[in-house]
Amino acid sequence: MTNEIVAATGNKHKIAEIQAILAPLGLRVLSANDVGGMPDVVEDGETFRDNAVKKALAGARALGRTVLADDSGLEVVALHGAPGVYSARYAGEGGNDGRNLSKLLREMTDITDRRARFVAVIAVATPEGLVGTAEGEVRGIIATAPRGQGGFGYDPVFVPEGEVETFAELPAAVKNAMSHRGNALKAAVAAGLFR
């Protein structure tokens, strides 16, 4: 495999997190923007794995190079796993982080069981096909109000197990060391997906 890998995202926060974890392996991570964009893929899979594989294969075939794709989201126990694969569009198509957070907190107003987990699945593909997938998770609880300025998505309301601060309050290096995406990337490295 090459020493460059394209991450099927233009999200600068995801790129920074991926690069921080893969740089020690000598891998240079390019964003979708660096390579002129990725094909539009409808994320209609029933699982995070379905969506990650679909994005990785489409990107690798369109670009003719190795592509890493992820799909991730928040699963809240009291909401029967929601928002789940709909995390990015929980407040509707074209939703944004603020509206998604507001909807989640509204739905949890009187809920005392605030257990949740972030899940991420990494898929790596070449133009020849799927190399493999790896999953990571981090468990925690949902705070009653957003806290912190860092991170993105649901980070301002997610307090990982063993911490008192939300992902948005923790330093990026601390968050990356325990995050679902970080755990999935580490599992992908351990599984040899980047060889």
DSSP line for 107-174: HTTT----EEEEEEEEEEEETTEEEEEEEEEEEEEE-SS---SSS-TTGGGEEETT-SS-TTTS-HHH
pLDDT of 94 higher than 80: no
Q: Count of domains in the chain?
A: 1
- Buried residues in 154-193 as b, exposed as e (16+ CB within 10 A): bbbbbbbeebebbbbbbeeeebbebbbbbbbbebbbeeeb
SS3 content of the chain, % helix, strand, coil (to 5): 40, 25, 35
- Type and span of the H or E element at 185: helix 180-190
pLDDT score at 115: 99
pTM: 0.90
Residues 142, 76 contacting (CB under 8 angstroms) = yes
Structural domain that includes position 45: 4-190
Cα separation of 158 and 146, whole Å?
Answer: 9
Mean pLDDT of the chain: 93
Q: Does residue 195 sit within a domain? A: no
Position 58, amino acid = A
User: For 83-112, what is the mean pLDDT?
Assistant: 92
Nearest to 118 by CA among 136, 105, 133: 136
Q: Does residue 48 sit within a domain? A: yes
pLDDT score at 2: 59
Could you list the residues known to form a binding site for substrate, using ranges. Answer: 9-14, 72, 152-155, 175, 180-181
Residues 66, 126 contacting (CB under 8 angstroms) = yes
Structure tokens at 136: 């990571």
User: For 177-192, what is the mean pLDDT?
Assistant: 91
Question: Which sequence positions are flagged as catalytic?
Answer: 71
Could you list the residues known to form a binding site for Mg(2+), using ranges. Answer: 71
Q: Does residue 80 sit within a domain? A: yes
At residue 26 the predicted structure's pLDDT band, cuts being 50, 70 and 90, is confident
Which residues on neighbouring strands pair with residue 133, listed in sequence order?
Answer: 123
Q: Does residue 121 sit within a domain? A: yes
Tell me: the pLDDT tens digits for 79-91?
999 999 999 999 9
Residues 187, 134 contacting (CB under 8 angstroms) = yes
> CATH number, domain at 25?
3.90.950.10
